[in-house]
Amino acid sequence: MIMHHVQLDNYNTFGIKSRARKLFTFDQTEELQEYIRSNDKSPGSVVVLGGGSNVLFTDELRTTVLHPANRTITVEEETPTEVTVRAGAGVVWDELVNFALDHGYHGIENLSMIPGHCGAAPIQNIGAYGTELCEVFEKLQAVDLNTGNTVIFTSPECEFGYRNSVFKTRARGQYCITDIYLKLSKLPRFNLEYGALQATLDEMGVATPDLWDVSKAVRHIRSSKLPDPGKTGNAGSFFKNPVIEKTFYESLQKRWPDMPCYKISETHVKVPAGWLIDKAGWKGFRYGKAGVHDKQALVLINLGDTTGKEVLELARKIREDIYQHYGIELQAEVNIWDRHGRHIEL
């Protein structure tokens, strides 16, 4: 279905008022293939938008927005211990989590309540509470936006990293993901390493948790820290947690002894950007109608009628200040779009 001059307010969790010149919503992969083969294929002529939970529009979109709407979930293969579940790109991620919980499939319960659609999940290798999508990911099917052909990407071919994949680097803007395939476990297998998760289960009085308990604990932690996009527009973490050299971290620690870090390798550590921004005094800061969330400084929020440009200005001010403070360069985790849906660096 093609619609013209579409308001995008309900297509982005930031609630930014923008419009798309053309919006093509499709259910079947063949519809997309036909569209690609019979329309303008020049670079920047189309852009893919899923649930809009990790995007900031800074302008009206003068390009065609492709919006996958396939909401089918199927079990493709099953052994006594494992299943391969296939989800259409238009499936709401949390619906897939609930499907897994309902059927007793383990592996994505820690990723409960992450906003967005399944098609976008591999792009930034969604992660939370000690689990990343890549741990259960088998493969995906995508349509090449230049040829209209379908392509399979296995897990190694996706080149997953921390909030990263080939779809944010070499292949950015070149494919539309249509289906994802996850390998989930039928046997109990939990990851409770994230401190607050175990602590919440203890508070709940749960000694031997099941899938629903873990999901409930995750939902509880998320609700206490992260703003509900249904009430306050946001796109989750606006920045990535920066990875820095261990020796640099040790020098910073002399001045900020309580600066947290997570070991990445023998030579590098990851530092929580939320802590850096918080300690630099930005928590609860307001900039016009944009702001910094008062419970998690990593999240920028829409306080009313903010614009993408205003949020971007705020993000740049924070980035500059963090660099002045600590000598660390923040990178955006959110995809920041110009009028052609091309990513703008911070």
112 belongs to the catalytic site? no
How many Cβ atoms are within 10 Å of 152's Cβ, its own excluded?
Answer: 11
Q: Which residues of 321-345 are buried (b: 16+ CB within 10 A; e: fewer)?
A: bbeebbebebebbbbbbbeebeeee
Q: Which one of 155, 237, 310, 319 is the catalytic residue?
A: 237
Q: Tell whether the torsion through CA atoms of 26, 32, 34 and 36 is positive or negative.
A: positive
The correct pick among 17, 41, 268, 283 for binding ligand EPU (CB under 6 A) is 283
How far is Cα 86 from Cα 70, in angstroms, rounded to an integer? 11
Residue 278 touching ligand EPU (CB under 6 A): yes
Residue 23 touching ligand EPU (CB under 6 A): no
The two three-digit tokens of residue 319, written as one number: 């980035």
User: Which residues have a Cβ under 8 Å from the Cβ of 199 and sit 6 or more positions away?
Assistant: none
Which residues are registered as beta bridge partners of 236? none
Residue 342 touching ligand EPU (CB under 6 A): no
Applying CB under 6 A, the span of 3-11, 22-30, 183-191, 275-283 interacting with ligand EPU comes to 275-283
Cα atoms in the Cβ-side hemisphere of radius 13 Å centred on 76: 16
333 belongs to the catalytic site? yes
Residue 193 sits at the vertex; the CA angle it makes with 192 and 194, to the nearest 5 degrees, is 95
165 belongs to the catalytic site? no
Q: Tell whether the torsion through CA atoms of 146, 147, 149 and 152 is positive or negative.
A: negative
Q: Which is nearer to ligand EPU, 213 or 333 (CB)?
A: 333
The two three-digit tokens of residue 201, written as one number: 């289960």
Residue 129 touching ligand EPU (CB under 6 A): yes
Residue 333 touching ligand EPU (CB under 6 A): yes
Residues 188-227 contacting ligand EPU, CB under 6 A = 225-226
The correct pick among 120, 297, 314, 322 for binding ligand EPU (CB under 6 A) is 297
CA torsion, ordered 27, 125, 167, 236, to nearest 10 deg = 80
Helix and strand numbers, DSSP H then E, in the chain = 8, 20
Q: Which is nearer to ligand EPU, 109 or 333 (CB)?
A: 333
Shortest reach from residue 135's CB to ligand EPU, in Å:
13
The CA distances from residue 214 to 51, 82, 111, 178, in Å, are 25, 20, 10, 29
Residue 326 touching ligand EPU (CB under 6 A): no
The site map against ligand EPU for 36-75 (x = CB under 6 A) is ----------------------------------------
Applying CB under 6 A, the span of 35-43, 72-80, 139-147, 294-302 interacting with ligand EPU comes to 294-302
Shortest reach from residue 120's CB to ligand EPU, in Å:
12
Q: Which is nearer to ligand EPU, 90 or 236 (CB)?
A: 236
In the block, tokens 């000694």 appear at: 207
Applying CB under 6 A, the span of 147-155, 167-175, 184-192, 269-277 interacting with ligand EPU comes to 269-277
CB 311 within 8 A of CB 234: no
Shortest reach from residue 292's CB to ligand EPU, in Å:
8
Residue 249 touching ligand EPU (CB under 6 A): no
The correct pick among 90, 236, 291, 341 for binding ligand EPU (CB under 6 A) is 236
Applying CB under 6 A, the span of 101-109, 142-150, 172-180, 293-301 interacting with ligand EPU comes to 293-301
Size of the site for ligand EPU (CB under 6 A): 19
CB 49 within 8 A of CB 65: yes
Return residues touching ligand EPU (CB under 6 A): 128-129, 163, 225-226, 236-237, 240-241, 260, 272, 274-275, 278, 283, 296-298, 333
Give the active site residues: 163, 237, 333
